[in-house]
Each structure stands twice: as structure tokens, then as C-alpha cells.
Amino acid sequence: MIRYIQNECLENMFYMYLFYYYRKKVGVVVIKEDLCIMDKLTILSDAAKYDVACTSSGSSRRGQKGELGNAVSCGICHSFAADGRCISLLKILMTNHCVYDCKYCINRASNDVKRATFTPEEICNLTVEFYKRNYIEGLFLSSGILKNPTYTMEKMCETLLLLRTKYHFNGYIHVKTIPGASDELLAAAGYLADRVSVNLELPTSEGLRKLAPNKTMQTILSPMGKVQNTIAAHRMAIGKSSYMERSRGNQFLHNGIFSDTSKQQFQRKLESRAALQRGTDVSKTSAQSNPALLDSSFTWNQAYQLAPHDMSRLKRSFAPAGQSTQMIIGATGENDYTLLQTTQQLYQGFDLKRVFYSAYIPLNEDPVLPEIGTPPPLLREHRLYQADWLLRFYGFQADELLTIETPNFNELLDPKCDWALRHLELFPVEVETASYAELLRVPGVGPKSASRIVNARRYGRMDFTSLKKMGVVLKRAHYFITCGGKQMYHTPLEETYITRQLVSVDRKESWEMAHANEGFSQMTLADFGIG
């Protein structure tokens, strides 16, 4: 295999020697299994359902002659292409064997569960055959820890290498890297996959010490910083900005988390924290202004660069779709304020493409975990995703949405409505004169409708009928806006009254979200008889 790869495709890639080196250094782990590939697929696809896959690829790549597949940036998992096709991923673990004993994980070492391990060839065959049958559009590959992080990561890289070279698979690949693996293997994974991710799992070091004693915040954040540093190096090498592309509307949001001002403020906070740790006289105010600040100062500006010094001969970009991470919601006692602060710092410090949230499903009996049978906090997860969108597309800061005094979202209201009700002094907003940034803060107004309003009002007067046609959700917005100086209905601008009305509007949606998993289970490929 190595000879084929070397002669065929990868003469310009710097990491080829790694597979010679680590094959000799790590050795071989033999696990005897009498399972057929269908049995393995059933076990490992089911075990992978607790890993959150990305909802959009963020990577565009045309199909090439002699290769199989392409990548479309409009969406991958549970999304739809422009022609109406549902685009999906083959989401599996390489193995559910694991030497770690994380208390929240179903695959922890101490659990008596049925184990299986795919070989690299088996994963390649499954991916290619499923793709040819139009079952999938790409691969989402994660794994438990088999023997040690370096060995596991080496087997995952071997799988990706086979897919890209022997099988000429040109489709989308998302790989979950293993914290603690060598820098060389981390680099190899980045050059072979479209998106890489390192799961943070828990937002605080205390939570990791309690539930995942084999992991530390530093071992997770360090590869995250290295990956982002290398992404930035590749982008600058081809003449792009070092930062990942964001929504075009963000250029008008001068107070958003991706603005230059916000990035500078974040950098000053990191410097203040570093100075405080060195014993320098720093005011307590600056240190306490952000209690959820990550316990490590690793950022991509400070991290070790994985890219070779000369990138001009490399044919592949490093993780062109960026990187993401995942946090578990409800396994520990962190409030929404801590989670949202951590989210904002991950976006600003590591330029992540996405932060995903996973409502914890109690699977293991342990005194520090919620009891088995406790409903997963699906509605809380939903509110955090809504708040995440407010951070990325609406120009909000975490400190605006929640405070130390109000550390949790009102689950009966979406976070934007909750914020507006706490800041009624800013309303009503006149839609014919308000700026784009002001319109985005109105409940029921999104980036598309705000942009349409700004463009349309240059050509004439507007009314509430035209606002509805532009996509404004008037059942929420009409309490907070005026059009031509008039309200849609004569309603008092009073918090109790508006709260009561909005809760009645969202009651059905909130109930459906909170009870979404009752009587249902996540389907696997085996449910469709695929194999």
C-alpha cells in the first residue's frame, strides 16, 4: 500500500515517512473478532450516534476524472441540496474499544458492552459501496481509544489515506481527531480530511477532572490551536485572510464576536490572565470579568505550526472546511452562562467553524451523573443552539445574552425574545430608519429579512404587509417595531404582558422540543436493511 501511495499520488506530501516510522514504533494490536461486517456496522454506527456531525460541509470541490465523489458546501448531514436531494454521512466509529473510562460515555472501559473494530479496508469498502448506491455523500469518522491515542490516530489516518489514494474518493470527510496523538498524525489527518474536530466534551477543567480523568483541558486545546494555526498558514499562503469566511452580514456588525474590536478585547483578556498567572499586578476586575475563561492560553496565534515551511508544492489544503468541537449539555452542573462564555472564547481564540451541543442522555450509573431515565435537556440544547446563532450571525456577545446574575436562559422563550424583554428601553424600533445591526436585534427579524428591509426602503414606504412578505415573523416582531411611526396593533410595551403573549405563541414549539425523544429512537443503517 505504501509503495502504491508513494508512486501514485503523494510524492509532494511531507508526511509520507510517518507511516514507515509509526508502523515500526507502535507495532500491531490484534483483536480477535468473529463478527461479520454487518454486525460491526450495527454496533459501531449505533455507538457513533452520540457524536454530533456537522450540518454543512463548508467545503466545495468538483468531481474529477478518475475520482469518486465531490464536496458541496451547502450541506452534508440532514440537509438538502439545491435539487432537493437529502445529503447524508456514513457516521461510524472505527472502534468502540476504549482504554479511557469517561463516566458519561457508553463506550467507557468499565462498561460491559459488545465491542467491535473496523479495519481500514472495511471502512473504505463501506464508504465507497454506500456512495455508489447513493446512500451517503461523505464519511464521518470517529473512534474510541484503542491501545493509545497515537496508535488509534495512525489507523484512522491509514483509512483516510486509502480512501483518497487507492479508492480515489474525492467526497467529503469529517474526522474526529484523538487528543494526545502526535503532531505528525494530526497534520496527516488535516491534509486528508475536509473538516477536523477535537471534542471539548465539557466546558471546564473541573468537569473534565470529575468525569473524564484521562483528559485535560490542555491536551484538548493544544491540538485545537495547532490545527487552526495550520489552517491560517495555508489560507495566507494562497492570498486569503487568516480567518475563516463568515456570513457577509457580519461586516456590518461592528460589535460582533468576529469584529476586529472584539478580537482585540479578547486578546487583551488573554494577556491579562497570563500576566495574572505570572504574578503581575493586574486588577481583579479584568480577571473576574470573564469567569468562564478557558484554563489554557493556547490560541492559534501562539500554537505550533503543523504546516511545512514550503507549502507551494502541496496539492491539498489543510482542513479546508475548518474545525469544530462538541460540548455535552447536562452531564455536569455548568450553567448556560458558562457554556456560552466558553463558546464565544472558542470562536474567538480558535476561529472554529462550529460549536455543537449534545444533550446528555443518561447511560451509566454513577453518583456524579444524572440518574438513568432522566430526560435529556433537549429544550436547553435548542436554546443554546439559538444563542449560538445570535453570536455568529446577529452581532450579540455572550455577556449581553446572559449575566452572572441571570446565568440561565428562560426555556419558555427563545434567547432573542428573552434579551429584548430585558431591554425594552431600546424598543420600539422604527423599521424605516433603523440600521441593519439594530434590525437584527428585533425578535422575528433575521439576516435575510433585515437585508431586504434595508434594500427595499430605498425605493418607497413600507407597511406591515410588505414586512411579512420580506420574511419578518410579525407574531413576535410587532411588539418591538413601528412602521411609519405606527404599531401594527395598539399594544402596551410592558414586560409582563409581552412575555405572556410570546409564551403562548411558543408553547407548542417548546413542548415538541422538550418531548422530541419520547417514543422515538435514532435510526441506523441497519433499520433500512442496508448491508
Beta-strand pair 172-176/195-197: parallel
The H or E element that residue 220 is part of is: helix 217-237
Confidence category of residue 28, pLDDT binned at 50, 70, 90: very low
Q: 95 - beta bridge partners?
A: 117
State the Rg of the chain over Cα.
Answer: 24
Q: Is the pLDDT of residue 34 over 80?
A: no
- Residue 235 grid coordinates: 489560507
How would residue 14 be classed by pLDDT, with cut points 50, 70 and 90?
very low
Whether the Cβ atoms of residue 152 and residue 146 lie closer than 8 Å to each other: yes
Structure confidence at residue 153 (pLDDT): 96
User: What's the pLDDT tens digit per position in 186-201?
Assistant: 999 999 999 999 999 9
- For CA atoms 120, 121, 124, 126, give the dihedral sign: negative
Q: Sign (positive/negative) of CA torsion 403, 407, 413, 416? A: positive
Q: In angstroms, rounded to a whole number, what is the distance separating the alpha carbons of residues 365 and 333?
A: 17
pLDDT score of 164:
92
Residues β-bridged to residue 174: 140, 195
| 49-70 residue pLDDT tens | 777 655 444 455 556 666 665 5
Are the CB atoms for 299 and 231 separated by under 8 Å?
A: no
| Residue 234 predicted with pLDDT over 80 | yes
**How do residues 238-273 score in pLDDT, each as one tens digit?**
888 888 989 888 888 988 999 988 988 888 887 887
> Is residue 432's pLDDT more than 70?
yes
CB distance 503 to 412 below 8 Å: yes
Number of helices (H) and strands (E), helices first, in the chain?
19, 10
| pLDDT for the residue 137 | 82
The DSSP H or E segment spanning 86 is strand 86-87
d(CA 480, CA 486): 11
β 429-430/481-482 pair status = parallel
**Mean pLDDT of the region 388-410:** 95
C-alpha cell belonging to residue 384? 443554546
Q: What is the pLDDT of residue 55?
A: 46
Nearest one of 403, 230, 250, 190 to 311, comparing CA atoms = 230
The b/e string for 235-261 (b: 16+ C-beta within 10 A; e otherwise) is: beeeeeeeebebeebbebbeebbbbee
Q: What is the pLDDT of residue 304?
A: 56
Q: Where are the beta strands (DSSP E) in 360-482?
A: 429-430, 481-482
pLDDT at res. 24: 42
Whether pLDDT at 119 is above 90: yes
Cell of 403: 449575566
Determine phi and psi for 430, rounding to 5 degrees: -85, 115
User: And the C-alpha cell for 113?
Assistant: 458492552
Kindly report the backbone phi and psi dihedral angles of residue 498, in degrees, each rounded to the nearest multiple of 5, phi listed first: -65, -40
Query: 3-state DSSP call for residue 112?
Result: coil
Give me the residue label for grid cell 424605516: 432
Which of 392, 383, 289, 366 has the alpha carbon at shortest distance from 329?
Answer: 383
Bond into 428 cis (ω within 30): yes
Question: What pLDDT is stored for residue 57 in this prediction?
Answer: 44
Determine the Cα–Cα distance for residues 124 and 161; give it in Å rounded to an integer: 10
Alpha-carbon gap, residue 224 to 476, rounded angstroms: 39
**Could you tell me the CA-to-CA distances from 125 to 15, 122, 128, 169 in Å, in that order?**
24, 5, 5, 11
C-beta neighbour count of 94 within 10 angstroms:
25
* Residue 454 CB neighbours (<10 A): 15
Cell numbers that stand for 205 in this block: 477543567
With 0-12 CB in 10 A as exposed, 13-18 as middle and 19+ as buried, what is 468? middle
The phi, psi pair for 91, rounded to 5°, reads: -105, 105
pLDDT 10s digits, 312-345: 566 678 999 999 999 999 999 899 999 999 999 9
Please tell me the predicted confidence (pLDDT) of residue 19.
40
Residues 419 and 396: beta-carbon distance below 8 Å: yes
Nearest C-alpha neighbor of 118 from the set 218, 71, 48: 48
CA dist 477 and 446 (Å) reads 11
| pTM of the model as a whole | 0.83
Helices 260-277 + 336-350 axis angle, to 10:
100
Checking if the pLDDT of 525 tops 90, the result is no
Closest CA to 508 of 531, 475, 483, 486: 475
Domains and CATH numbers, the chain: 1-197 (3.30.750.210), 414-514 (no CATH)
Is the predicted pLDDT of residue 348 greater than 90, yes or no? yes
Q: Phi and psi (nearest 5°) for 217?
A: -60, -35
pLDDT in tens, 362-383: 989 999 999 999 999 999 999 9
Question: What was the pLDDT predicted at 133?
Answer: 84
pLDDT at 86 over 90: no
Over residues 435-480, the pLDDT tens digits come to 999 999 999 999 999 999 999 999 999 999 999 999 999 999 999 9
